[in-house]
């Protein structure tokens, strides 16, 4: 996956900042992620969800709304309608770049803006919201004590999430005049609503209102014990899995393949931070697996350990190589089974062996089912040693390492 910093102009000519998460392989769809109120593209939810979807083949643009993060403009006078316009401008910019938006995702107030903006983006095939309010004016609850001052003086500084922001009377009026539910009722696109029942910022009743207003196909998924900002270790991962699986039904058939940097054999391994200290997700060709350590080594035993993964590669390569040969020869091989043990032993030619002189030994046990004679079985065993992974392990492989950094 590549994280690319981008800039484009909104309807007022101000420069908006974004990060485009580009899949390593062919992107089968492109999406926009809209962050929560006063958040930014660098928020935990925005960055984790965008990157997670990119790992699954969906390229995602996450942007800073006007007046927030690295984008130009004044938050005090921008308002909800400006957020909607920013999303439409982002979609237009993506389309101009040859990456038409198929999926729009919004978190909290960004979800409300997404529901309105989606009506104006023809290429969008599906919409997903996370903890979205059914009324944009809902955010006023976060600074209600400052509303009288804003109304009287025209603007005032408020504290939101421990940070100071200046809001104006125009900002309030814009929130009050918006109609999210009206946009939902006219939205003729599949809608996925994700919401935590115990959300203390945007209550679950908002999800009910959105669901009742929406047309079919519509889906609701409870985020169970999640909080509003998805700060739990497994919260973002669950959201990623649900959105990726749900959206594939609606956007895959419509997808326009856009080639990125082709790396067909790339394997991505990264910590999940979810189940124990050592769990890693392994992403291969859009599929997700897990690697871990057993409980005896302090792990959660949620997946094979690293050496088991190596053994699995050797076993699979052995079986596939033998199958290819048998098919080519048209031999009656019913099934090939390979089991592998791994151990560390002293090198045979080591005279004074110490701990550092131990070598890895993978022992294969191969079963070939079928009506083969002894000569054919002997030949199949020779073919097993021609497996490319076998040769790489025996000959030794060079590992090159490069330290990379990504935009926050």
pLDDT in tens, 90-105: 999 999 888 899 999 9
| CATH fold label, 2-140+172-251 | Rossmann fold (3.40.50)
Residue with tokens 């895959």: 252
Does residue 147 come out as left (phi exceeding 0), alpha (psi in the -120 to 50 range) or beta?
alpha
Identical fold, 2-140+172-251 and 306-395: no
For 336, the token pair is 């090939």
| Residue 258 · residue 278 · CB < 8 Å | no
User: Reduced to 3 states, what is the DSSP secondary structure of residue 247?
Assistant: helix
**Boundaries of every domain in the chain:** 2-140+172-251, 267-297, 306-395
What percentage of the chain carries pLDDT values higher than 90?
51
Beta strands in 77-185 (DSSP E): 103-107, 126-130, 155-160, 163-168
Place domain 306-395 in its CATH homologous superfamily. Answer: K homology (KH) domain (3.30.300.20)
Residue with tokens 């052995």: 318
Q: Nearest 5 degrees, angle CA 387-CA 390-CA 396?
A: 135
Of 270, 199, 273, the closest CA to residue 229 belongs to: 199
Q: Identify the band that residue 406 occupies on the pLDDT scale cut at 50, 70 and 90.
A: low
| Residue 103 · residue 29 · CB < 8 Å | yes
Distance between CA 59 and CA 257 in Å, rounded?
A: 11
| 14-23, 344-353, 377-386, range with the lowest pLDDT | 344-353
User: Reduced to 3 states, what is the DSSP secondary structure of residue 60?
Assistant: strand
Specify the pLDDT at position 256.
41
Global model pTM greater than 0.85: no
- Give φ, ψ of 244 to 5 degrees: -60, -45
β-partners of residue 338 are 366
Beta strands in 260-310 (DSSP E): 267-271, 280-284, 287-291
| Residue 44 · residue 236 · CB < 8 Å | yes
Q: Identify the band that residue 263 occupies on the pLDDT scale cut at 50, 70 and 90.
A: very low
Q: Identify the band that residue 173 occupies on the pLDDT scale cut at 50, 70 and 90.
A: confident
pLDDT in tens, 40-84: 787 888 889 999 999 888 999 999 998 888 898 877 667 788 889
């Amino acid at each position: 996956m590549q994280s690319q910093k981008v800039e484009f102009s909104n309807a007022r000519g101000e420069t908006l900042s974004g990060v485009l998460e580009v899949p390593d392989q062919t992107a089968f769809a492109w999406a926009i992620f809209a962050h929560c109120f006063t958040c930014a593209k660098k928020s935990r939810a925005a960055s984790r969800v965008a990157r997670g979807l990119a790992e699954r083949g969906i390229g995602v643009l996450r942007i800073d709304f006007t007046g927030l993060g690295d984008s130009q403009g004044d938050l005090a006078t921008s308002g909800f309608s400006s957020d909607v316009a920013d999303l439409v401008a982002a979609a237009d910019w993506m389309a101009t770049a040859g990456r038409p938006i198929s999926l729009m995702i919004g978190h909290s107030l960004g979800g409300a803006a997404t529901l309105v903006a989606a009506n104006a983006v023809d290429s969008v095939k599906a919409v997903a919201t996370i903890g979205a309010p059914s009324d944009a004016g809902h955010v006023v609850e976060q600074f209600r004590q400052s509303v009288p001052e804003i109304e009287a003086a025209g603007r005032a500084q408020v504290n939101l999430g421990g940070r100071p922001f200046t809001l104006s009377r125009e900002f309030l009026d814009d929130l009050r005049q918006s109609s999210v539910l009206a946009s939902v009722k006219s939205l003729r696109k599949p809608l996925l609503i994700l919401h935590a029942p115990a959300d203390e910022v945007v209550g679950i009743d908002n999800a009910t209102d959105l669901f009742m207003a929406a047309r079919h196909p519509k889906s609701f998924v409870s985020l169970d014990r999640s909080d509003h900002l998805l700060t739990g270790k497994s919260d973002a991962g669950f959201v990623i899995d649900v959105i990726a699986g749900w959206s594939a039904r609606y956007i895959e058939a419509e997808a326009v393949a856009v080639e990125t940097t082709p790396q067909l054999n790339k394997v991505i391994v990264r910590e999940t931070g979810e189940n124990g200290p050592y769990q890693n997700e392994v992403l291969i060709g859009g599929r997700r697996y897990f690697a871990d350590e057993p409980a005896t080594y302090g792990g959660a035993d949620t997946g094979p350990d690293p050496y088991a993964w190596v053994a699995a590669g050797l076993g699979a390569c052995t079986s596939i190589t033998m199958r290819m040969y048998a098919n080519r020869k048209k031999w009656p091989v019913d099934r090939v089974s390979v089991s592998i043990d791994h151990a560390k032993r002293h090198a045979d030619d080591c005279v004074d062996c110490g701990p550092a002189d131990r070598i890895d030994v993978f022992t294969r046990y191969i079963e070939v089912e079928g009506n083969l004679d002894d000569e054919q079985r002997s030949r199949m065993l020779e073919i097993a040693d021609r497996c490319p992974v076998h040769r790489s392990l025996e000959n030794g492989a060079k590992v090159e390492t490069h330290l990379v950094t990504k935009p926050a």
